[in-house]
Amino acid sequence: MSEDKDHIAIRLLRKFCPSQLAEAVEGDLQERYERDTRRYGSRVAGRQLWWNALRFFRPGILLRHHWTGRIIYTSMIQNHFKIAFRSFARQKAFTVLNVAGLTIGLAASLLITQYVRYEKSFDSFHSRAKDIYRMQYNGYSNGKLNFESTVAVPAAARAIKDNFAEVEEFVRFLPRTGVMSYDRPDGERIAFQERKMQYVDSTVFKVFDFKLLQGDTATALNGLNKIVISSSAAKRYFRDEDPIGKTLLFNGKDAFMITGVFQDVPENSHIQFQFLFSYATLNKATEGWSEKAWGWYDFYTYILLRPGTDVRQLQAKWDEALLKIRKEDWEKDNERQEFILRPLTDIHLYSNLLYEAQPTEQRDGDSVYALSLIAVFILVIAWVNYINLSTARSFNRANEVGVRKVMGAFRSQLVTQFLTESFLLNILAGALALGLVRLLWAPFSDLTGWKIPLDFMFTWGFWKLSLLLLTGGTLLAGFYPALVMSSFQPIAVLKGRIIRSTTGNILRLSLVVFQFVASIFLIIGSIIVFQQIDFMKQRDLGFTLDKTLVLKGPGMTDSLHQKRLEGFRTEVLRIPGVKSLTASSIIPGDEIFWTTGVKRLNSSSRYGTAESHMGMDYDFIPSYNLKVIAGRAYDRNFPGDGKRVMLNRAMAELLEFKSPEEAIGE
């Protein structure tokens, strides 16, 4: 064979042979070619050279630089897993303890963070939630702040819409309660006492994303005596019938035609309703006062701003415009009004004003975020517990590390081995934690007072958090023990001399101290909360609620109301064990919605001080065991009591009486 052909064989081999093998292979082939030439001649030696070159074209050689590294790496990973499972099997108590600690920590953290997420999710399901603001109404009298209210006057919404292009739309809600009824074609009357009803502007479906299942969002609430109802209310009144076009009777006299059915309002909405009346109906009943009144503050008012609006600039311009509109009336009455725009998504956690739409469901934002901190503490305690147990156990595995290093293992390989063990433990703990979360989801929701939907477990946010905790747990809890165990010197280990570094001891002691401090912090916090709740339960409220039952009336009265009430009282008092019965417009502890302006007779103010008041019968004071500190309680023996009033101590002070006794007879 010619040298040119030989040269081609060698060049071909160089092209495909891995670079780290090419020189050695080429040298062997050249030596064999020269030997064959001497023995058999150049022609036979040339053919043998081609044959020997082609024999090196094997996958194990040709693909070594592409695949062999991966094959070796895969084998090592498999070996890591095998060793990890063997280690778990040998140290069952250690494994169970670590997995149990991580599982409980992860489950508790996930449950708490889901609660926090739910609290923060209020009103955020509206597509334009960031552009929606509620009007906060602040009233000033004689230069002093009189009240801060969530309900505003109806004229304010129209004024801001007409004066500023930044305002895209507005909607007002006026709550109502009463009896709703439906007369079925078969003669049956279906009636329920309803407390989630609102008069509302027809723009409600433009501002909010409440979903209308039947009807037209643009026209459903246009015109007189129109009503849209929730899907659950439709089932309650109409069962399987189509409610559209049918008539409901409100308080036995006002007929409303159903023009739409909306999907039930989610629980994480601070606005709750099942019936929406057309605002035009209210305008007609009030002869327009529900549009132009500046003193009637019962309306929850929401403003939709155009995207990109600077709220601070709009607020400043609105304050200036309001001063021009209302200056004359303010000066005449020595009063002033403020209408402040507050973000919709801040209402649930950061608003605690008069007349909140759902006052019993308002939360404190700082407390909710404090729970996030508690969740972090719980998880960190679990991780620190894992670190301490792993490092304490690391010296039991010193011989294993020494032998591995003597056999040629690199430190990076040992770190990978121990991180693999941490990963497997965290995977197992994570799977058990998810199962525990699913098992405890319903009772935990009941404990929080919400019906947190199970769908929260299937959102990307939940799984992203779970993956983050899993990754963080593997790295944070596994990295330090892996460094400690991989740092052992093989000679010292095999001779039985393991030197524990001062730095490592300090770090482990610091982790133990942190663990105890965090645990003590959580325990003390729990004790304080328990004592505070117990204090509230035991505190003297100023009235007696023991063995008291509350019956809420339907909210509708007529000329026979008083007579029916007295008949009801007579029958109830005949029941053995019933000591007394009293009727009032509201019960102690509930927020009072009746307000008016009160002043002393010689006051210069036109309206005086805004106050909340309630109606009660003669038996109210003794039934609740209220203490009368001056004067007397209402008495049936004094017919003139129907034109008299009782004040509490705070109101007497607000009206500047020097003592409660001074107020008597004024």
pLDDT digits (tens, 9 = 90+) for 174-205: 999 999 999 988 888 999 999 999 999 999 99
The 3 state secondary structure assigned to 468-537 is HHHHHHHHHHHHHHHHHHHCCCHHHHHCCCCCCCHHHHHHHHHHHHHHHHHHHHHHHHHHHHHHHHHHHH
User: What DSSP letter does each residue of 577-602 carry, written as one string?
Assistant: T------BSS-TTSPP--EEEE--TT
* Residue 393 backbone dihedrals phi, psi, to 5 degrees: -85, -15
| Residue 36: partners with Cβ closer than 8 Å, 6 or more residues away | 44, 45, 48, 49
Rg of the chain on CA atoms, in Å: 40
DSSP states along 279-332:
HHHHHHHTTTHHHH-SS---BEEEEEEPTT--HHHHHHHHHHHHHHHHHHHHHH
Report the candidate in 585, 583, 646 with the shortest Cα–Cα distance to residue 620. Answer: 583
Rounded distance, CA 190 to CA 180, Å? 8
Residue 561 has pLDDT above 90, yes or no: no
More confident residue, 227 or 368: 227
What pLDDT digit, counting tens, does each position of 114-161 carry?
A: 999 999 999 999 999 999 999 999 998 878 888 899 999 999 999 999
Please tell me the number of Cα atoms within 13 Å of 571 on its side-chain side: 6
Can you tell me whether residue 137 is helix, strand or coil? strand
CA 277-279-283 angle, to 5 degrees, is: 125
Helices (H), strands (E): how many in the chain?
23, 13
Q: Which residues contact 76 (CB under 8 A, 6 or more apart)?
A: 413, 416
pLDDT in tens, 578-610: 999 999 988 888 888 888 878 888 776 666 677
Structural contact between residues 172 and 201, judged by C-beta atoms closer than 8 angstroms: yes
Which pairs count as long-range contacts for 29-32, CB under 8 Å and 24+ apart, including other chains? 29/53
**d(Cα 151, Cα 174) in Å, to the nearest integer?**
9
* Residue closest to 154 by CA, chosen among 193, 217, 200: 200
Query: 135, 157 in Cβ contact below 8 A?
Result: yes
Residue range 214-269, pLDDT digits in tens: 999 999 999 999 999 999 999 999 988 999 999 999 998 899 999 999 999 999 99
pLDDT band of residue 515 (cuts 50, 70, 90) is confident
pLDDT for res 294: 95
Q: What angle do CA 390, 395, 396 make, to 5 degrees?
A: 90
Spell out the alpha helix ranges (H) of 17-68: 19-40, 42-55, 59-62
What pLDDT is recorded for position 67? 47
Give the confidence band of 385 by pLDDT, cuts at 50, 70, 90.
confident
pLDDT for residue 134: 97
User: Which of 278-282, 407-411, 446-450 has the weakest average pLDDT?
Assistant: 407-411
Least confident of 27-41, 277-291, 408-422, 500-514: 500-514
Query: Is it the case that residue 332 has pLDDT exceeding 50?
Result: yes
Three-state SS string across 182-215, please?
EECCCCCEEEEEEEEEEEECCCHHHHCCCCEEEC
CA distances from 131 to 210, 231, 242, 304, 321 (A): 16, 28, 35, 6, 21
pLDDT tens for residues 346-355?
Answer: 999 999 898 8
Q: What is the pLDDT, as a whole number, of residue 605? A: 63
At residue 480 the predicted structure's pLDDT band, cuts being 50, 70 and 90, is: low
Q: Which residues contact 217 (CB under 8 A, 6 or more apart)?
A: 205, 206, 260
What secondary structure letter does DSSP report for 265? Answer: P
**Listed residue (443, 437, 107, 167) closest to 318, CA to CA:** 167
Residue 1 above 50 pLDDT? Answer: no
* Distance, CA of 195 to CA of 579 (rounded, Å): 29
- Whether 486 has a pLDDT exceeding 80, the answer reads no
Q: Do residues 318 and 337 touch, judged by C-beta distance below 8 A?
A: no
Contact yes or no for 282/199 (Cβ under 8 A): yes
Q: What is the DSSP letter of 354?
A: B
Q: Does the pLDDT at position 630 exceed 90?
A: yes
> Whole-model pTM?
0.77
Whole-number average pLDDT of the chain? 84
